[in-house]
Structure 1
Amino acid sequence: MATPNPLADSSSDPTPVSSKTYTIAGVHTTVYGLDELASAAKEVAVLWLLHPRLQVQSIMAPIAAASIHDWNGRSASKSKGLIAVSFDQRNHGTREVNPLANESWKKNNPTHAQDMFSIFHGTAQDTSMLIDFLSSYVFPDSSHTITKHLVLGISLGGHSTWQCIIHDPRITTAVVVIGCPDYKFLMADRAKKSKLSTWTSSEGKDFLGSTDYPKGLCDATDKWDPKAFLVGDKLQPTEDQKKTLRPLLKEKLGGKHIMCLSGGKDKLVPYTCSAPFLDWLKTGVDKESGWFNDQGIVLEDIVDETAGHEYSAKMKVEAVRFISENLAGEGSLKAGTRTSKI
């Protein structure tokens, strides 16, 4: 299947904001909105922007502008500022080493599963590393203090965003756009559609652990992928399993806010691949009957029924709302879930 550019429609792009590029740990890192910061805004939040596969960091500039404009239009921005940061994912843009490694099985890349997971996992690690050093570059005089980290990722960046929110305690808010928290399910679905022999020979039963999804990749997935790491095969955990899971969920998701934006007609990253994990999570944090609903977790699961593999106009509105509400600590951001179709 072809890989569309989820950001191809630029008809509604907002007026750009200021940007400045730093080289941090050898990574070209673009920071948006520094010139727009209010001088009295001593506290600053950072919105990390992770781009789609086959794209580059500059494509995220309109997303930075939309969120910064919306937040700066609120009175609270006078005391709490917002900047955004983008950088090229591994093997993309200025960091590209092997173009084939960014392609799919159908585009003749035999190690598509390994390449994609290692690239977006590496990007999650890069995000954590850049968090360590960002303030020393952008605020060397300590004129502002970074107090909050949010991340928004699209497609490949959405997969990475799931790892960021799960594994870095400093990242407390995530907007996952057409990304998937269950890599094994996603790749099995793609292997079936690609008619790989490792899938067709056993109707998928032997795909995991095959040459197209080797055991080493299974091990890495189990360590880092949200569904494999948190749930495994325990979609309906016993009471004893719940006792084991509660401390882990508190550590990894306690107090965190997540928005998932999916396309109802997305064939590349189908919502059906995310649904089992999201349903498990929603059941657990349900205000009335959830078995870990006391951890302050917010989950908004929104499907644009008319959208394919794209960051649609409706999704953009929801993402900007969620980010600003999160910064302000207002609106719908109360522990629990919200599921809707738009």
Structure 2
Amino acid sequence: MATPNPMEHTHGGSPPAAISKKVYTIAGILTAVYGLAELSSQVNEVACLWLLHPRLQTQECMEPVAASIIHSWNARLQEGRGGRSPKGLIAVSFDQRNHGSREVNKLANEAWRAGNPTHAQDMFSIYRISLGGHAAWHCVLHDARISTAVIVIGCPDYTRLMTDRAKKSKLQTWVSTERPGAQFLGSVDFPKGLIETIERYDPAGLLMGELDVVTGDDHLHEPSDEEKTRLRPLMREHLGGKRILCLSGGADKLVPYQCGEPFLGFLKRAIGEGGWFSDRETVLEDIVDIQAGHEFSPKMKEEAIRFIGETLLGKGGMHAGTRSSKI
């Protein structure tokens, strides 16, 4: 699970009760584990919630998120609503590359507008390992050990996100021609090597890159038999049987929902009822808090707690398919 600036958005509510925290050094990285002291002796299995902090933050900002979710689940266990074989829940967080205790170059974390000329390369290389909501998409797609992801304001289409950001930043490579944006992709600001990496790892690059793009909006049509033949093995390998909750802010200007909407629509049509990949028990819930900006809003928090609880119970809310809603 990953959230943007979780400590900034309590909206006047009471802060969560304290949660136990123990720090270990693992592979040279300071790693915080939350909720060990609160584990019940009656549980035989423990689920781990990985908390990925956002850009320009540190792992400490995830502590309130860990406390809220763990306390909510433990309360359910105490009330006898944890299922027949209840699981315990802990959370883990650590500083991402070039952040907090691992920072080596502060400017590399900044955007174009803040004076970082290699923003696109730096941001992708950092969150390809883990950084905020964007990284949660990469984790659930590329790590077979991860079966469920809660993605809070994470864009699954890096090219569209950076293209939007280049336009807003009025980069020279965006405005330098009569046709704005024509020179951006493949330029020094978004080099070919980055494009090739995106096609291997980014959700939209990996999957929609298999479409026979002619008009630039081929994601809107039903894939051809040839396209499906190429896509099905990728879908099975990277998304088969996985559960994803995607939470977005309708008023978010930094990571606009519209940048990820083409890929989300493509994915929902594929795995929805009657879709060409509807037989793989894959779940996608796409929920937009229409009043939220770049924040982990109270409504988003409620949906995250619900989704995690359903996952731990093994119910899943629904066995396969999609759910889209605005709250």
TM-score, with length taken from structure 2: 0.90
Separation (CA, whole Å) in 2 of partners of 1:231 and 1:16: 44
Show the 5 A alignment for 1:18-29.
18-29=20-31
- The answer on whether the counterparts of 2:150 and 2:246 sit within 8 Å (CA) in structure 1 is yes
CA distance in 2, matches of 1:91, 1:172: 27
Matched, 1:177 2:152: yes
| 1:102 corresponds to | 109
Question: In the alignment, what sits opposite 1:299?
Answer: 284
Deviation at 1:274, TM superposition (A): 0.5
Gap runs ≥5 in structure 2: 212-218
Match for residue 195 of structure 2?
218
What residue number does 1:240 align with?
Answer: 226
Aligned partner of 1:81 in structure 2 is 88
Unaligned runs of 5+ in 1: 124-155
One-letter amino acid matched to 2:51: L
Identity of aligned residues (%): 61
Following the alignment from structure 1 to structure 2, what is the Cα–Cα distance between the partners of residues 46 and 339?
A: 27
TM-score, normalization by structure 1: 0.87
8 Å contact from structure 1 (residues 37, 81) kept in 2: yes
CA spacing shift, 1:253–1:233, aligned 2, 3 Å = closer
Structure 1 residue runs of 4+, over 6 Å off? none
Q: Which residue of 2 aligns with 1:41?
A: 43
Alpha-carbon distance change, 187 to 45 in structure 1, aligned in 2, over 3 angstroms:
same
Partner of 1:141: none
CA deviation string 1:126-185 (max 9, x = no partner)? xxxxxxxxxxxxxxxxxxxxxxxxxxxxxx411000000000011000011011000000
| Alignment pair present for 1:269 and 2:271 | no
**Map of 2:128 onto structure 1:** 121
Alpha-carbon offset, residue 79 of structure 1: 3.5
CA contact (8 A) 2:156 2:202 kept: yes
Question: Partners of 1:95 and 1:217 in 2: how far apart?
Answer: 24
Partner residue, 1:133: none
> Counterpart of 1:203?
180
Contact 1:6 1:309 in 2 (8 A): no
Q: Aligned with 2:276: secondary structure?
A: coil
C-alpha distance 233-210 of structure 1, shift in aligned 2 (>3 A): farther
Contact 1:51 / 1:157 at 8 angstroms: preserved in 2?
Answer: yes
Q: Determine the C-alpha separation between the residues in 2 that align with 1:26 and 1:33.
A: 22
**1:34-73 matches, cutoff 5 A:** 34-73=36-75
Residue identity in the other structure for 1:301: D
What is the total number of aligned residue pairs between the two structures? 306
Give the AA of the match of 1:86: S
Change (3 A) 1:307 1:70: same
Deviation at 1:14, TM superposition (A): 1.1
Q: Which has the higher contact order (CA 8 A, sep 6+)?
A: 2
